[in-house]
Structure 1
């Protein structure tokens, strides 16, 4: 039962945070980012927010710093929008799975192109 609730809360946090970051935050350090996932603990005390940031390592670091600075604002806005008794603490992390997936896809494509050249 707790797993189902934490999953629903996580999805709602993901949706609300995406809107908040896109519409409400005006920090120029925040680059183009996407909230890719939210994992909430069973007791709803901590939420790990996974982000995909477009740009180099410096852009990712700057975006993380800006979001950490805006953590209090984001939590208070989540509390207003979601009507939770206790809003989970937000912990932002960079999601490297998209970059990893595209790297694997490129390697597979290169291997496939190598086989085509061998047959020609």
Structure 2
């Protein structure tokens, strides 16, 4: 169910709900409770002119509309309530990559 919701929400954010200046919004993970009443939706942003807080607040404010679109596409008895969270793992991975690149450059300079 989590993967299906993640896929549908990704489609909704492309075709039904566009957030101006949000860059590339990706649904990175969805966690659904065992009773299927609540879905925690984790999103990541790339090249966004808006802060993560602004995007999360927009999603929270439009939660009912997003849930409506989800209900139209989800084949389930219940449509879970949606809670949105920012997933900063992409940003952390980018920082780690940058640090590793710097370390490699420094090692190459030392070996020269």
Same fold (TM over 0.5): yes
More displaced stretch, 76-85 vs 10-19: 76-85
Q: Could you tell me which residue of structure 2 aligns to residue 31 of structure 1?
A: 22
* TM-score computed with the length of structure 2 as normaliser: 0.86
Q: Distance in 1 between matches of 2:30 and 2:19?
A: 22
> C-alpha offsets along residues 54-95 of structure 1, whole Å, 9 cap, x if unaligned?
335x43222112111111111122122113222111111111
After the TM superposition, which parts of structure 1 deviate over 3 Å for at least 4 consecutive aligned residues?
A: none
* TM-score computed with the length of structure 1 as normaliser: 0.81
Q: What root-mean-square deviation, in Å, do the aligned CA atoms of Structure 1 and Structure 2 show?
A: 1.7
Bigger fraction of residues in helix: 1
Q: CA deviation at 1:26?
A: 4.6
Is there any run of 5+ residues in structure 1 with no aligned partner, and where?
1-8
Is there any run of 5+ residues in structure 2 with no aligned partner, and where?
none
Q: 1:11 aligns with which of 3, 6, 10?
A: 3
Q: Could you tell me which residue of structure 2 aligns to residue 6 of structure 1?
A: none
